[in-house]
Amino acid sequence: MKQAENRGIFSDMNTMVSSDAARQGENCATWLARAGLRPTRQRCALAALLIGGGNRHLTAEALHGEAQGAAMGVSLATVYNTLKAFTAAGLLREIAIEPGRVYYDTRIDDHPHFYHESDGTIADAPVGSVAFASLPEAPEGMEIASVDVVVRLRAK
């Protein structure tokens, strides 16, 4: 049985890999190009919304709503396509929490989430609050891609 420390999972570092580049003043074109994506107006607009406000957990519908509110002309289909493209490029991560609804996380390292059952919102659990004493070995020929932890909360 491996120790969690050896895998670097859920460490205390507040890594925010996907937004580092943008925060450092690099422009959208370079940022997207580095992920192998053509920097279009729509993708830059969505990237700005995603990266602008720290770590976010949102659905395609929600992001589309924000884009509409900001009068960026981006269709819902493009939001879906772009989120999938960003995820495939490793800029975002999908969170499986609610059946029938995909959340995207702007933070892409393994880290635990709070899920509020009452209103369906997601938040990062406090940094360092979850630590493993042990993790399973992967079966023969397999390796661990990620470890998802969801702490479901309800009103007391």
Q: How far is the CB of 112 from DNA (least distance, A)?
A: 21
Residue 136 Cα to chain centre, angstroms: 24
35's tokens: 């992920």
Q: How far is the CB of 144 from DNA (least distance, A)?
A: 24
Q: If you write DSSP's letter for every residue of 30-94 in order, what string do you get?
A: HHHHHTT----HHHHHHHHHHHHTSS-EEEHHHHHHHHHHTT----HHHHHHHHHHHHHTTSSEE
Closest to DNA by CB, 35 vs 130, is 35
- For DNA, how many residues bind (rule: CB under 7 A)? 27
Question: Is the separation of the CB atoms in 46 and 74 below 8 Å?
Answer: yes
Contact stretch for DNA (CB under 7 A) within 13-21, 93-101, 114-122, 133-141:
93-101
The residue within the footprint of DNA, chosen from 48, 95, 102, 153 (CB under 7 A), is 102
Q: What does each C-alpha distance from 103 to 57, 96, 126, 127 come to in angstroms?
A: 6, 7, 19, 20
With respect to DNA, which residue has the nearer C-beta, 5 or 98?
98
From the list DNA, a copy of itself, none, pick the one residue 75 interacts with, judged by a Cβ distance below 5 to 8 Å according to partner type.
DNA
Residues 7-66 that bind DNA (CB under 7 A): 29, 33, 37-43, 59-61
Residues that bind DNA (CB under 7 A): 29, 33, 37-43, 59-61, 73-78, 80-82, 84-85, 99-102
